[in-house]
Structure 1
Amino acid sequence: MSVEIRSETLTAAAFAPFGDVLEAAGPADKIINAGLCGRFHDRAQMDFGAGGRAGISIFNAEARSLPYSFDLMERHPDGSQAFLPMTQHPFLVIVAPDEGGAPGAPRAFLTAPHQGVNFHRGTWHGVLTPLFSPGLFAVVDRIGATPNLEEVTLAKVHTVIP
């Protein structure tokens, strides 16, 4: 039997315990480029830990659909990880609080087409889950010599429903 999770709309307030919502919402912080560009400044708390540096990678993930079942969660103890979609399609973001070094009860968020996310260092999250093809994302995360990935298989399958 699967544990059902109802997807939530991604908002900065609801997602704050897990990371940052990356979007151009509200008025721009600055108008630049001779008045032709709004800059939404410093929207993510990037953290690359000691001995790490920022890197930009491109991910191309297979599209999934709702309902979506999962039992794998991961986290990056040495750095934050930002996902910036390179299309105008929404995607699914699964996160969980840390409970004694393991994921607690997962939550699922459905992004709007113009949103990305930045997971804070050590935040439990599901795998990249685009809902449309192509699942193309720019990813900003820690590059370093030490391992920066912990994976956990959950005791029960969880299913995200709309």
Structure 2
Amino acid sequence: MVETILKPEPIDADRFRPFGDVFDAEGEPDMIINEGRCGRHHDKVRLDVGTGRAGISLFRTRAVEIPYALTVMERHPLGAQAFIPMSEDPFIVVVAEDDGGKPGMLHAFKTAPRQGVSYLPNTWHAPLIALRDDAVFAVIDRIGSGNNLQEFTYDTPVMVSG
């Protein structure tokens, strides 16, 4: 089988929208709060947690080597997930449309510093692809009963370049 190579492109909110949201605190805030000291960028993520509740977890991860051999995609049918980096380091995001219960065409993006992403429910995505060691992310996702994780394993790795 021919090796597939994905080259991440800079993330763009419009092109990412079918999979979820891209968010940051750049630009003018939606409102000024806290005695005029704080700009609030309001309601930036479509976070559907279905019948569960929203929880905040912290993920500490190691960096991957680039090119990265992507072997697994996952999705969460019962709720959305949001990944908020707790540093200024960009990371790589790989997403796919659903194709009959498995990932379809893959799309790879690289975030800008201080940008987060969310995945809509049922969005196929790669596990977290951090570019530096000891990266920490706040993750907001569904906490509740039911199987909220489905995985797909590729027979041949998909190589993700830098």
The 3-state SS of whatever aligns with 1:89 is coil
Counterparts of 1:139-158 in structure 2 under 5 Å? 139-158=139-158
- The residue type paired with residue 137 of structure 2 is F
**1:28 to partner: Cα distance:** 0.5
Residue 88 of structure 1 is matched in structure 2 by 88
Structure 1: stretches of 5+ with no match in the other structure: none
**1:66 to partner: Cα distance:** 2.0
2-side partners of 1:117 and 1:157: how far apart?
24
Deviations 1:68-100 (A, max 9, x none): 111200000000000001111011111011111
Q: Does 1:6 align with 2:19?
A: no
**1:120 to partner: Cα distance:** 0.3
Residue 45 of structure 2 is matched in structure 1 by 44
Residue 101 of structure 1 is matched in structure 2 by 101
Structure 2: stretches of 5+ with no match in the other structure: none
The 3-state SS of whatever aligns with 1:13 is helix
**1:65 to partner: Cα distance:** 3.1
- The residue type paired with residue 134 of structure 1 is D
1-side partners of 2:155 and 2:126: how far apart?
15
TM-score by length of 1: 0.95
The 3-state SS of whatever aligns with 2:105 is coil
2-side partners of 1:133 and 1:41: how far apart?
31
Q: Which moved more, 1:121-130 or 1:56-65?
A: 56-65
Residue 22 of structure 2 is matched in structure 1 by 21
TM-score by length of 2: 0.95
2-side partners of 1:128 and 1:148: how far apart?
17
**Segments ≥4 residues shifted beyond 2 Å:** none
1-side partners of 2:57 and 2:93: how far apart?
19
Deviations 1:43-87 (A, max 9, x none): 00011112x000000111111132111120000000000000111
Q: Which moved more, 1:24-33 or 1:77-86?
A: 24-33
CA RMSD after TM alignment: 1.0
- Percent sequence identity is 48
Residue 59 of structure 1 is matched in structure 2 by 59
